[in-house]
Structure 1
């Protein structure tokens, strides 16, 4: 999805990018990107490596000069304003703490650069550490902290200067799975409590879906979709978004003008006016295997069904995945596990079903 010309900024828009672009030599990394972030919301730039999300964040931060376009904050044009004059708090993937300074001095550093009184610097730095529940570690050095604690120090250092915008670059990628879960909750709670506008870069869909008000899904320097987590997940704008955000099954078919889609020698229905070759996509957890001997549902009841052959069954703790061969394609069905988990044997013909409303249809050329 290429970007339409930017609409006039709305009153509630705080950070506005207007036809922002960046080229490195002959490589046009960001052709033209336009969007508006509202005051007080948290927005994620989500996409695979090389899609342009980090370049965009670094242009917002003033660490990279745009080749074209404009950046405004609260109506003020900051496109060519130096990074240190942009009133932004930055949290890097590497934390970038000063190893020779105490935790308190690390947090106080930005305030000291602003020439505030010693008493005010200390009071504000301690308040910031209290906010991230680390005031009791104020006199320690970064090397004495865990990864999660170091991340919270970096967050406190960014927030203590009371910036207009908080920028986070892959802030949780260096943490283990349990710490990532904890920090997602803490960062979101701090952002909501402070009311600060926050923008962060991630390739992790769980971070984006669980933490953000809206998500920018990027591909090849373009915005594929910009919307709420629910919109992105439930109404993906392209096959790329459907496949990148959440797990999905993908089948090829031929659609007629009545919403009937032929897949091999079988037919399903979808609320689509497309005709000709299409890509059909369904979420694995919205599908289920029919019990042996059960009647296949009727499309007239809003249910789709397909017949295939079970190839294998994979147990992954809270879920069991059934891998079903449908023609040349494989369809995965995910169901909650049970203590007495059984299931058909590999090689068994099986029927699967799902709601017709849970069927995404895209032109085959959109892939």
Structure 2
């Protein structure tokens, strides 16, 4: 259950239990510009961890420093007990899957997958066996002799994944590998990557700006902003107990309202009074996720009132059909609040202009302090 009081916003990190990858004060600057700032992170062995954040937050720079493609300005990268900060990429025992797939167009699928093994001088018979196993893992055995141009986007992504895994890396690094796929293929590949990662027990770091990918695939989510960690936690922790307003709004949709807390568990937001968890004081920002709000007919609102429920009256200003959801925009005393509800085959859609009521549990209200 969400029960949010004013938080300091300091990020939490994983404990050192069976840590496989550790970043200590990892920093990257370009002149006066700081891309990554003193980042500390511990990744236990066998976990899939997402680096999540908007463009320019430093997540891809962090991944490339771990891979050895970018040299850090400061800090350390430790795998097991070994400091690999200065180690060249080819010695790091890491498999990389890029957004662009980076397949060799003149090579067959089998040759693409075999390339890393050939560079390591693995015996030919061993290469053939391991390539066959890797292609079976991603269900591409029948396409071994095709060229990349003869494959769909999803198939090319599977080849890139097989090529990264065939070398049996200690760590798998994935840089937005699903961003070029359509929605249905992204869903399929999310499940496939997660299943393979779990079956192999491999430690993996996954860069994405897509909250759904991070929440649905990963053991831990690392939310980044402007080169710094905002929060580290399980998907449920980050979604239900965001440490900062940025995390709350980036990881999931939310309504954001500014107000003045009275110190008695209520916040004045314009003409509205909203009850919140705890007894914050001063200027605050409150947030409520759209799917946690119930949209009621105005004449049925009184039945929803109660000690643990916020109840507000408003007027419906817009209805948007988005497939499985209906998004309602409601004007409440000059403030717009968005509500999401199941579309139910298009039945029961309320008319724009109709009076409505909004109800949500007090415990579903997130509260954050803000400056005056």
TM-score grouping bracket, smaller chain normalisation: over 0.9
Partner of 2:187: 181
- The residue aligned with 2:5 is none
Which of the residues 209, 214, 219 maps onto 2:225? Answer: 219
Partner of 1:169 in structure 2? 175
In structure 2, the residue matched to 1:284 is: 290
Which residue is equivalent to 1:27?
33
Using CA pairs below 8 Å that are at least 6 residues apart, which structure has the higher relative contact order? 2
2:121 aligned partner: 115
Matched, 1:326 2:332: yes
Distance 1:171 1:313 in 2: 34
Give aligned pairs, total: 363
**Equivalent residue of 1:162, what SS?**
coil
For residues 118-160 of structure 1, what are the alpha-carbon distances to aligned partners after superposition, in whole Å with 9 as ceiling and x for unaligned? 1001111111111111111111111111111110000000001
1:138 aligns with 2:130: no
Q: What CA distance in whole angstroms lies between the structure 1 residues aligned with 2:174 and 2:368? A: 34
Report the equivalent of 1:352: 358
Contact 1:257 1:274 in 2 (8 A): yes
- Shift in Å at residue 349 of structure 1? 2.8
Q: Which runs of 5+ in 1 are unaligned?
A: none
**Which position in structure 1 is the counterpart of 2:164?**
158
- The counterpart of 2:367, out of the listed 357, 361, 365, is 361
1:365 is displaced (CA, Å) by 3.0
Structure 1 stretches of at least 4 aligned residues deviating more than 6 Å after TM superposition: none
How far apart, CA to CA, are the structure 2 residues paired with 1:312 and 1:150?
42
Q: How far apart are the structure 2 equivalents of 1:340 and 1:279? A: 34
Tell me if structure 2 keeps the 8 A contact 1:126–1:135.
yes
Aligned-residue Cα RMSD (Å) equals 1.7
Structure 2: state its 5+ residue gaps: 1-8
Residue in structure 2 matched with residue 44 of structure 1 by the alignment: 50
**8 Å CA contact 1:3, 1:34 repeated in 2:** no
* Match of residue 209 from structure 2: 203
TM-score, structure 2 as length reference: 0.94
Task: Specify the SS of the correspondent of 1:362.
Answer: strand
Give the TM-score normalised by structure 1. Answer: 0.95
Deviation at 1:260, TM superposition (A): 1.1
Deviations 1:226-266 (A, max 9, x none): 01110111111111111111111111111122211112222
Q: 2:243 matched to which residue of 1?
A: 237
Q: Distance in 2 between matches of 1:332 and 1:101?
A: 51
Whole-Å Cα distance in 2 between the matches of residues 205 and 189 of structure 1? 19
